[in-house]
Structure 1
Amino acid sequence: MIPEFHPVWPFLIAAALVPVTRGWLRAVVLLAAPIIGGLQFFDMELDVTRSMSLLGLELIPYRADSLSYIFGIAFHIGALMSILFALKVRDTLQQVSGLLYIAAGMGVLFAGDLLTLFIQWELLGLTSAGLIFAGRTPEAVAAGLRYLVYQVLSGVLLMAGALLIWLDTGSLAFEAMTLDGPATWLIFLAFGLKAGFPLLHNWIPDSYPAGTPTGSVFLCIFTTKAAIYALARGFPGTELLIYIGAVMAFFPIFYAIIENNLRRVLSYSIINQLGFMTVGIGIGTELSLNGTAAHAFAHIIYKALLFMSMGALLQQAGTVSASKLGGLYRQMPWTATFCIIGAASISAFPLLSGFVSKAMIMSALIKTDHLLIWLVMLFASAGVLEHAGIKIPYFGFFSRHGHAEAREAPLNMLLAMGLAAFLCIGIGVYPQALYAILPYDYEYWPYDVTHVLIQMQLLLFATLAIVWMHRSGRYPAEIPSTNLDADWFARRAVPTLAQRIHATLTAAGNWLSSTGWRVGSSVVTSNVERGLGRTSPVGTMALWVAILLAVMLMFGILEV
């Protein structure tokens, strides 16, 4: 049986209590969920599985080991920060969606079989969509629908792959896999879609900025990191991931530079940081996998801090457009300070969390002789300094472009940002606390002279390059614009083709209904009588249902 206190239960119970509570009692319920859930991690027993039988299937709904443990701690910290930041929100939809979303994320981390993983995987997408729909604007609704299509499509790919594995092996265990057949490729793509692989990434900059000021903080924590966990669990050492991750770290830099909406800048920055984690998974050594887990842990904290600072700006000033903001460090000094700490952390300044986690992945690249990829990631690190380390705090609080007015963020928001800033500094100053809970027992020290000097030189020359670009007029102007990304194919090119296909299919359907129906029905009846229906296995029929559902979802993408 499942353990009495599965990590999902505090959040499920809180989600059930929120609609029937008000005021301070609701606040207590909200905060109690991550606190109670987190306390059980102090004495959690690892390398434990619990199995159950369902309709002849052997399922493992609970598996706790060192990998799920560190991600579970990070998720609880992220849950506490995001709930505290949103504590004064008077919107039951957001609060219930957020709690169920966190519960689904926990379910993914502790799923030991593909069926349990699929159920939690789909719940992760469905529940998080409520944080986008809660914007209650036509733009938010449209973005939420597009977001849902991508999330459900990821689940369909996962289900199809799981069915093929079950048909082939008779097992649904969620273990390490290799790309040796259609089943594992389908699962690989399912994980990659949620992780923001190139050309599959558009839902991140499309939907995250459409969330509410507080909802986007939840969104930036759980979905993509659950996908990174799944890749680390399912495909460690898959070399293809090294090159995919390098592209992910590289290309978002250019979109972030020209983007005017600062929450979209952070969304592209998420893809960039996921690239580092993906490279670490692809290398597959103990050092690189530890680096991936550590970087995911640190990323949850500093990215949440940056999204919280931009959420506070959006709530207090009414905008996060770089061309409209400026000079708000006087009115919002605490928010500006916390934003700077988050920006310095993501830029991997020494003595901050981003440095001690990213260093492990960069060291693993050198140790495995991936010099070219190391150079690409070095360039990507310089790009992070530009678009997240400098652009976000500068245009958010210090530029003179706009004339927005605002007051300092509420106390609960400041406390949440303060907690994140404290952790960014604490992990950077004392990395042993993070290294002690990493999945593998591998000794590593980030503050060797060579690495510190390389990083400081990188930061110095990247800063000088940005200053030169600004002073010489070569830096792109901050103007409202629509930047074309790969979603152009889904929104423009493919719909045009789909309309023509739809017209052709409609004509064919009309012909079938008028002249071909009798012929078709007689053929089907004849085959059924010969035993086709009796000899098709249930799994095969379910696989065809999954394929048909995937086709329907693709048409749904085109219409949305």
Structure 2
Amino acid sequence: MSSVIPFLPLMLGAIAALFLRGWTRNIIMLAAPVVGGLNLMGLEHGVFWSMEFMGYALEPVRIDKLSMMFGYLFHIASLIAVIYALHVKDTVQHVAGLAYAASAVGAVFAGDLLTLFIFWELLALTSVFLVWARRTDRAYSSGVRYLIFQVLSGVLLLAGLLIFAQVNGSLLFNEIGLEHEGIAEVGAWLIFLAFGIKCAFPFMHNWLTDSYPEATPTGTIFLASFTTKVAVYCFARGFAGEEILVWIGITMACFPIFFAVIENDLRRVLAYSLINQIGFMIVGIGIGTALALNGAVAHAFNDVIFKGLLMMTMGAVLHMTGKINGSELGGLYKSMPKTTILCIVGAASISAFPLFSGFVSKSMIMSAAVAEGYDVVWLLLLFAAAGVFHHAGIKIPYFAFFAHDSGIRTTEPPRNMLIAMTIAAVLCVVIGTFPAQTVYALLPWEADYHPYDLTHVLTQLQLLFFSALAFVWLNLRNLYPPELPSTNLDVDWFYRKLIPTFVKRIASAVYATYGQFENAIIAVIKRIIQHSYDTEQDQPKGYFARLWPIETMVVWVAVLLSGYLVVYYI
């Protein structure tokens, strides 16, 4: 095979970025995803570089339509992110970004669980530097919490794969499922939870909303593209058709809406929106039909691009103004008109407007839900679709670029940032307009689907129209939650409020008990001292408290030494 290992071009680009500077580094960084993408085109489906390790067969590189689709996606995403970050002179961000992308590519091409684990951990170690690279106290603390969750996910994956290797005698990464008996079931659930943490399942999602908004403007683009999508790929590979995923996914699609609507930090709004969109993908994987699975991976493909576009526009706003809270922004369309238009394209795409990329993938999942009799799920997905239009399709562009005029006057971001955003915007329109020739051509499963029929188009337009009408009415009536300087807590309330309060009370009780015990011991010691002291004579009482002559003490020393010698020789 003439081609090279899929992740190698990106990893070599990261190593080169560590030592090179200036325009030479920029050229190498741009070339890495381009060469990597061209390398993928030369790969044939199959298993390569197979080997044996401790009696287990390993497949470090396995190529099929599913892994190939994510491989193309990650190279496109890394190219856009590199272009967006060209103005940055920070070596840490460049090296971490490309190494992070290389780890994601290595993970989706891993044919065995051990190789997957290695890249799983590399994803955590490389990505955390994109959070720390902002070099603030909040970013450092958030990065530590992020790393704790990521390492926990890796520990669970390692424990699960060891159990699976012991029970099945194989480490190959194929369909895992949850239908097992005995210790194998424990291993399957450990792997399931490991994937779930990286996928930001409910109650395990806070690492995402905590860390992504604290990363650098350019680092967030990388973060939004890889970690969660690797987890989506792993669920599609290992747990397709597990019904529990349907209900987990619908929960993910719905609950972030309520937090995103009241959130002031616009990048945190997009972080909640990211969980919302992953929910759609998890629902499709849980349904498990060819149409649903195609919809899930197609939506993952599209989400990286349109969510990346929205993250890039908000990163541009942060870069140019130093502000990202909706309460501090507004009126930026006057000085950033190009960024405003690009943001609206991203908003239309994530809201699934016809002729935009979100429409051709989100409708696949919803159609699959109806076809399989998940009527309640379909209704909840409709609610989630309306909600994402509110918080991402309307709120983001409205409060950043329109709403009240904040008085901020700036300029458009650097040219490389505009180029990256334009590429993403063009892809959103091209994919939405010509799905059969673009993303549908890469789909792993055979399924015949035509998004532009009258029913789908009218249903989506009605949903979007009435959602927009609701936003306008609520806004005019002053009922829509205003953008207020605030900090909103969800699951992190447990470790920010409940646990510290609980620990403080326990610590106070322990400290008080220790103080009482210490005082009691001191009182006893004082009584003993007082009892052994003659206050009238002002000297200690008792036989051993007498004042002895020196010769008597010498005799006692001689007696003790003699006794020691006798005991020693006996």
Using the size of structure 1 for normalisation, the TM-score is 0.88
Distance 2:304 2:148 in 1: 25
Does the aligned pair in 1 maintain the 2:157–2:190 contact within 8 Å?
yes
Match of 2:466 in 1: 461
Q: Unmatched 5+ residue regions in structure 2?
A: 512-570
**1:391 correspondence with 2:390:** no
Distance 2:65 2:320 in 1: 41
Give the 3 Å change call, closer, same or farther, for CA 477–81 of structure 1 in structure 2. same
How high is the sequence identity, in percent, across the aligned residues?
Answer: 54
Q: What is the number of residues matched between the two proteins? A: 506
Match of 2:480 in 1: 475
Match of 1:103 in 2: 102
**1:302 correspondence with 2:306:** yes
SS at 1:87 equivalent: coil
Q: Deviations over 1:64-100 (max 9, x none)?
A: 1110011111111100110100011000000000011
Does the aligned pair in 1 maintain the 2:330–2:399 contact within 8 Å?
yes
Distance 1:88 1:271 in 2: 29
Distance 2:258 2:190 in 1: 30
After TM superposition, give the deviation of residue 500 of structure 1 in Å: 7.5
**1:159 correspondence with 2:158:** yes
Alignment of 1:491-530 (within 5 A): 491-497=496-502
Distance 1:280 1:177 in 2: 17
Does the aligned pair in 2 maintain the 1:324–1:401 contact within 8 Å?
no
Moved more, 242-251 or 475-484: 475-484
Match of 1:48 in 2: 47
- Runs of 4 or more, structure 1, over 6 Å off, are 499-506
Alignment of 1:65-464 (within 5 A): 65-179=64-178, 180=180, 181-400=185-404, 402-432=406-436, 433-464=438-469
Amino acid at match of 2:172: A
Does the aligned pair in 2 maintain the 1:98–1:127 contact within 8 Å?
yes
Give the 3 Å change call, closer, same or farther, for CA 505–239 of structure 1 in structure 2. farther
Distance 2:234 2:11 in 1: 22
Distance 2:370 2:56 in 1: 44
SS at 1:79 equivalent: helix
Distance 1:482 1:3 in 2: 54
Distance 1:491 1:259 in 2: 18
Amino acid at match of 2:8: W
Does the aligned pair in 1 maintain the 2:61–2:109 contact within 8 Å?
yes
Match of 1:486 in 2: 491
Distance 1:178 1:66 in 2: 20
Amino acid at match of 2:422: G
Distance 1:282 1:376 in 2: 15
Distance 1:351 1:14 in 2: 36
After TM superposition, give the deviation of residue 505 of structure 1 in Å: 11
Match of 2:12 in 1: 13
SS at 1:251 equivalent: helix
After TM superposition, give the deviation of residue 41 of structure 1 in Å: 2.5
After TM superposition, give the deviation of residue 501 of structure 1 in Å: 7.8
After TM superposition, give the deviation of residue 443 of structure 1 in Å: 1.4
Does the aligned pair in 2 maintain the 1:353–1:427 contact within 8 Å?
yes
Give the 3 Å change call, closer, same or farther, for CA 203–344 of structure 1 in structure 2. same
Q: Deviations over 1:238-275 (max 9, x none)?
A: 00000000000000001000000000000000000000
Does the aligned pair in 2 maintain the 1:3–1:50 contact within 8 Å?
no
Does the aligned pair in 2 maintain the 1:47–1:66 contact within 8 Å?
no
Q: Deviations over 1:516-549 (max 9, x none)?
A: xxxxxxxxxxxxxxxxxxxxxxxxxxxxxxxxxx
Does the aligned pair in 2 maintain the 1:324–1:404 contact within 8 Å?
no
After TM superposition, give the deviation of residue 116 of structure 1 in Å: 0.7
Amino acid at match of 2:63: A
Does the aligned pair in 1 maintain the 2:3–2:39 contact within 8 Å?
no
Does the aligned pair in 1 maintain the 2:3–2:43 contact within 8 Å?
no
Amino acid at match of 1:41: L
Give the 3 Å change call, closer, same or farther, for CA 370–14 of structure 1 in structure 2. same
Q: Deviations over 1:455-507 (max 9, x none)?
A: 0000000110111111111111110111120111122323455578899999x
SS at 2:428 equivalent: helix
SS at 2:59 equivalent: strand
Match of 2:38 in 1: 39
Q: Which structure's relative contact order is higher, taking Cα pairs within 8 Å and 6+ residues apart?
A: 1
Distance 1:41 1:61 in 2: 15
Does the aligned pair in 1 maintain the 2:46–2:62 contact within 8 Å?
yes
Does the aligned pair in 1 maintain the 2:47–2:59 contact within 8 Å?
no
Distance 1:446 1:440 in 2: 17
SS at 2:62 equivalent: strand
Q: Deviations over 1:366-424 (max 9, x none)?
A: 11010000000000000011000000011111121522232101110000000000000
State the superposition RMSD in angstroms.
Answer: 1.7
Distance 2:481 2:243 in 1: 36
After TM superposition, give the deviation of residue 360 of structure 1 in Å: 0.6
Amino acid at match of 1:222: F
Distance 1:498 1:475 in 2: 38
Q: Deviations over 1:262-315 (max 9, x none)?
A: 000000000000000000000000000000110000000000000000000000
SS at 1:323 equivalent: helix
Moved more, 33-42 or 361-370: 33-42
Distance 2:372 2:124 in 1: 36
Amino acid at match of 2:128: A
Amino acid at match of 1:91: D
Amino acid at match of 1:137: T
Using the size of structure 2 for normalisation, the TM-score is 0.87
SS at 1:493 equivalent: helix
Q: Which has the larger radius of gyration?
A: 2
SS at 1:221 equivalent: coil
Match of 1:509 in 2: none
Match of 1:557 in 2: none
Does the aligned pair in 1 maintain the 2:6–2:40 contact within 8 Å?
no
Does the aligned pair in 1 maintain the 2:202–2:252 contact within 8 Å?
yes
SS at 1:48 equivalent: strand
